[in-house]
């Protein structure tokens, strides 16, 4: 039962984070994804979304750290690879 509740909370927070991003509310997206990263540190999707939010906020060091964490968890993640390449050009 506790796992179902945790999964439901994760799904709710994930939908919230995605909605913030789609609305261009990057500070809110970063905060929501940071909360998710704290509670689900082994989820590469969370780190990818956090990296994107940081990228949009101009926090390039934090974005790079988040994308590298994604690659630690999922070495060939194409989104993280692409965004790290993008960061090298900025």
Longest CA span, the chain? 47
Long-range contacts of 10-16 (CB under 8 A, 24+ apart): 10/36, 10/39, 10/40, 14/45, 14/46
How confident is the model over 27-33, as a mean pLDDT?
Answer: 98
Q: At 76, is the pLDDT very low, low, confident or very high (cuts 50, 70, 90)?
A: very high
Backbone φ and ψ for 58, nearest 5 degrees, come out as 80, 15
Backbone φ and ψ for 23, nearest 5 degrees, come out as -90, 0
Q: Which residue has the higher pLDDT, 8 or 27?
A: 27
| pLDDT tens, position by position, 48-67 | 999 999 999 999 999 999 99
């Amino acid at each position: 039962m506790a796992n179902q509740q945790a999964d439901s909370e994760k799904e709710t927070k994930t939908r919230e984070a995605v909605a913030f991003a789609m609305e261009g509310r990057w500070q809110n997206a970063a905060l929501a994804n940071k909360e998710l990263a704290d509670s689900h540190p082994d989820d590469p999707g969370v780190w990818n979304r956090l990296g994107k939010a940081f990228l949009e906020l101009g926090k390039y060091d934090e974005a790079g750290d988040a994308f590298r964490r994604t690659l630690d968890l999922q070495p060939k993640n194409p989104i993280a690879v692409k965004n790290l390449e993008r960061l090298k050009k900025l």
